[in-house]
Amino acid sequence: MKIAYLTNQYPKVSHAFIRREILALESQGFEVLRYSIRPTPDKLVDAQDVAEESKTRILLAGGLFGLIWATGLVKLRHPFRYTKAAMQTVKIGWRSERGLLIHMIYLMEAARLLRWCKKERADHVHVHFGTNPTTVAMLCKMMGGPTFSMTVHGPEEFDKPIAIHLARKIKEAAFVVGISSFGKSQLFRWCSHEHWGKIKEIHCGVSPKFLEMPLQTIGESKKLVCVGRLCEQKGQLLLMQAARRLKDEGHDFELILAGDGEMRLDVEELIERYRLQDHVTITGWVSSEQVVELIEQSRALVLPSFGEGLPVVIMEALALGRPVVSTYVAGIPELVHDCTNGFLVPAGNVVELTRAMRQCLELPSGRLEDMGRTGRKQVAEKHDASREARKLAGLFQEYGGGGGKKSAAVKGSDG
């Protein structure tokens, strides 16, 4: 079976979980085509990402002329289906967040996707994220393209479900994946009960190598590490406030921010204002091997997010035997259990964040290692990438290639 994967940007530093999913599917005998709407803006430092880049076709490559050419051919060969898709484009684009003009561009992207899928004989399209890539896949299907499915991560899809027509996408999809029980519940909120049966729960997973690596002792390390894009939803500005409090209390610690992003200058400004230069370091983007090394050198992972789905780096840290400090947001409490394998605090509460980080610094390393071992066991049970990919493969076999017309409602909604 041949599956086309479509994302907005691929490969991308923060989307290594998509790469792992694709490779796991290929190991099970699927042929996977990589399609991306636009090239990644990230500097790729991981060798596996660089390899994936060479396998990925970009819908916007060739510019506007390429889109117009593809659209003209589809309009000529499939006039009725094209007209139907164009009418739907006007309907969903008129009052959408991005407006009608952008949606007409989505229609042209869909036409190009259709031509690629027909030429390469794709049986099904799977999309990560329920935003504009899913709009493109949906319009492609309306013009006679293959069935499609989507994995919805959040928080963006749940922040603006009406603006992105999430209910319509669920209706048109063969099946829909939520990455956590919380995510599945939010999908239930935004669609008719008759479509609940097509909503499945499949977790993002870690590479088996994370679960096979020998656990490293924490020892006397005073390092805390935060891995992720420097952006508003990850809460690094609040983390700087907590770091200032710890510094003022006289604690000896080092905080490593592994990542980069649009808020780097804001974070650097707070580092200077709070005089944290001896305590906080920003590495920029690092490879997956460097992430492993940083986590293994730390006492704990700290991720004080304001909005999430369920971050893969939390799974990776627990698999490497490190407890996690994070927030009661979205799917995080389904994996991180307070005082069992980590510490959970209310999002946006700097006092509680400081307390949890202080506790990490003061607890005996043996206690933190026990918490890490508990976390590794939970990740092995729920977030093995190969096992989760097998669940997804079963859905492709059941619903892909035209199977999406089956009555999913009869099958039940359990993931």
311 with 404, same domain? Answer: no
Residue 345 lies in a domain: yes
- pLDDT score recorded for residue 402: 53
Q: What is the pLDDT of residues 101-115, one digit of tens each?
A: 999 999 999 999 999
CA dihedral 239, 241, 245, 247 (to 10 degrees): 70
Residue 194 lies in a domain: yes
Residue 254 lies in a domain: yes
Domain range enclosing 93: 2-205+385-408
Q: What is the pLDDT of residues 4-57, one digit of tens each?
A: 999 999 998 788 899 999 999 999 999 999 999 999 887 887 888 899 999 999
187 with 271, same domain? Answer: no
213 with 181, same domain? Answer: no
Whose CA is closest to 173, among 141, 203, 204? 141
333 with 394, same domain? Answer: no
Strand partners, 149: 126
State the pLDDT confidence band at 405, using cuts at 50, 70 and 90. very low
76 with 214, same domain? Answer: no
State the average pLDDT for the chain. 93
163 with 279, same domain? Answer: no
The tokens describing 375, both together, are 């976390």
How far out from the chain centre does Cα 72 lie?
Answer: 34
376 with 350, same domain? Answer: yes
54 with 185, same domain? Answer: yes
Q: How many residues does the chain have?
A: 415
Q: What is the pLDDT of residues 66-102, one digit of tens each?
A: 999 999 999 999 999 999 999 999 999 987 878 899 9
Residue 414 lies in a domain: no
CATH number where 71 lies: 3.40.50.2000
102 with 55, same domain? Answer: yes
